[in-house]
Amino acid sequence: MIKDTVQYFTISDAIGLVFCGAITLLLFIVSFVYFKMHKPIYIYYSLFLLFSLLYALTVLRESAALDGLFFDFLRGNRRYTESSTLFSFSFYIFFSIPLIDLKAQSPRIARQLRIFAIACLSYALTYYIAFAYIHSYHLIIFIASRILIFGLSAYYLIKLYQHTQSPVKNFFILGSLCYFLGSIVASIRFSTDEIPNYSFYLLAAPAYFQLGILLQALFFALAMGEKVVVQHNELDNEQRSIIQQLALEDQGTKEANRRLEEEIEARVKEMIKIRENLEEQERRRVSAEHEHSLLKSEIQAKQAQINPHFIFNSLNAIKYLILQNESAKAIKYLITFSRFIRSILDQANTESISLTDEIAIVRNYIDLEKKRFDDSFNICITNNLPSDMPYFQTPPFLLQPFVENAIWHGLLPSTKHEKRLSIVLDQTEEGVKIIVEDNGVGRLYKNGHVPSKERGGLGIKLSLKRVELFNLNHKTQHISCHIHDLKDDAQRPSGTRIEIIIKTINGPTPQKGVNNEA
């Protein structure tokens, strides 16, 4: 009986000492690798080995040869035994996730395993803190926790086997089976004395667990080695790929140099051609400037033609008033006329004026004509342009000839009781539309033909020509004029409508102005 007892203790202690030495050496090696490579997988495995070593120290039997080497409070202290076991198991789970690249292959299982590991850490820490209150129930807690842990571990091992593809999967599964088999046998050895096999009790429960960890460490060492080989092969393949890529890039560089030489040659030819084009453009520019000068001179000449035409008509009006012995009206008319002539002279050398100034000229002209004819017709100017309407340009005296034509050749010959002339300014999507409309005799009032002198005389012809020249000289605005003959229900001439449309084209938007002040 004494011999059996000595053998029992000797075998268990021998296994414990071998376990402590092997785990210490492996811990030193893995920690060294971690400080060299700084990868989390090595720190997880180092912590697993550290807490496994701490577990081994708590169950190492008392021996006279070892009394001076270990703290007495570690031996046989259940608080440290259970806590260190669960801490080591938690870091074993953390280690397994990067070992088989589980996060990349199955993020869902990886997340569940992390939760499982955190739960084991929480249990170990709670057990350590509350041991003084629960130590009398430690066997019940031990059995319940092992049933739960073994069940979940078996479930996740099956999941990992089914859903992962890794070159180290088989080593990991075998090592895990050894680890859990040692744990299960140790748990049975610890929790019951009813096994009908005497040889089963020759080893203490920690010895079975330590043997499982040693076998697991062997398989995990093979797995780590295989992983290093795989990573080396991947690195080697990557380097070969880089070398091939560099070769392709070198070939591409040579091809690029060849293309660059061809491109340089093409560019030289292109530059020669550009130089020739620039010389041609310079010749065209000089010619265009010359044509522009001629065009500008033509515009000013056309504008100078309208002024004598209007002055001739105005002087006839003054002459008419004097012959009619209406000296007072003639004097007022002459004063208004002199002011109007001043505005004409101000615009004598101007290519274009604002729409606001053009409407002001028309108002002045209408005042002259109304005084001359004793307000024998009604004139209405309606400006519907918004306050933020862009600033538009027109040739000087664009509207005045049309208004003059409507009064002299439309309203005055008319026998209608109410004679009306309306000028309406509206905003369009592209710019401004101006309508000059009268209810006079119309252009077709003589035998159904347009009179050559009474309607569409020199003033209108000059205005249309100046519009044409304006469009040629301005690239951001375009003016169009349309003349419509109005008829009543009996299809008899009932007036004339002039539509003038000013729109922006292919250029910067006209500046904000005050066109509505007209």
- E strand or H helix that includes residue 499: strand 493-504
**176: pLDDT confidence band, cut at 50, 70 and 90?**
confident
Position 422 scores a pLDDT of: 92
Q: Output the six-digit token pair for 355.
A: 């729409």
Q: Would the pLDDT of 434 be above 60?
A: yes
**Pick from 78-92, 123-137, 295-309, 496-510: least confident:** 295-309
Helices (H), 452-496: 458-473
- E strand or H helix that includes residue 498: strand 493-504
Alpha carbon distance 125, 150 (integer Å): 19
Residue-wise pLDDT for 220-245, tens only, equals: 777 777 777 777 777 778 888 888 88
Q: Torsion-angle region of residue 423: left (phi > 0), alpha (psi -120 to 50) or beta?
A: beta
Q: Is the pTM of this model over 0.85?
A: no
Nearest-5° angle of CA 300, CA 307, CA 378? 130
Q: Would the pLDDT of 514 be above 50?
A: no
**Pick from 82-91, 307-316, 334-343, 349-358: least confident:** 307-316
**Pick from 236-250, 288-302, 418-432: least confident:** 288-302
Position 115 scores a pLDDT of: 93
Query: Are 186 and 143 in contact, with CB atoms under 8 Å apart?
Result: no
Position 297 scores a pLDDT of: 58
Residue-wise pLDDT for 140-172, tens only, equals: 887 888 888 888 888 888 888 888 887 878 878
Position 507 scores a pLDDT of: 52
- Mean predicted confidence (pLDDT) in 458-468: 75
- Mean predicted confidence (pLDDT) in 441-464: 61
E-strand spans in 229-383? 353-354, 378-383
Q: Output the six-digit token pair for 407.
A: 């009064």
Alpha carbon distance 106, 516 (integer Å): 72
φ, ψ for residue 370 (rounded to 5)? -65, -40
Q: Would the pLDDT of 372 be above 80?
A: no
- E strand or H helix that includes residue 423: strand 420-427
Calculate the CA 460 to chain-centre distance. 56
Q: How far is CA 135 from CA 120, 141, 281, in A?
A: 18, 9, 103
Alpha carbon distance 217, 464 (integer Å): 103
Position 34 scores a pLDDT of: 82
**Mean of all residue pLDDT scores within the chain:** 78
Q: Would the pLDDT of 485 be above 70?
A: yes
499/231: higher pLDDT: 499
**454: pLDDT confidence band, cut at 50, 70 and 90?**
very low
- Nearest in space to 102 (alpha carbons), one of 85, 116, 81, 122: 116
Alpha carbon distance 499, 435 (integer Å): 5
Q: Which residues contact 181 (CB under 8 A, 6 or more apart)?
A: 212
**Pick from 26-35, 367-376, 471-480: least confident:** 367-376
Q: What is the CA radius of gyration of the chain?
A: 54
- Mean predicted confidence (pLDDT) in 246-254: 82
Amino acid at 353: I
Residue-wise pLDDT for 97-107, tens only, equals: 888 888 888 88
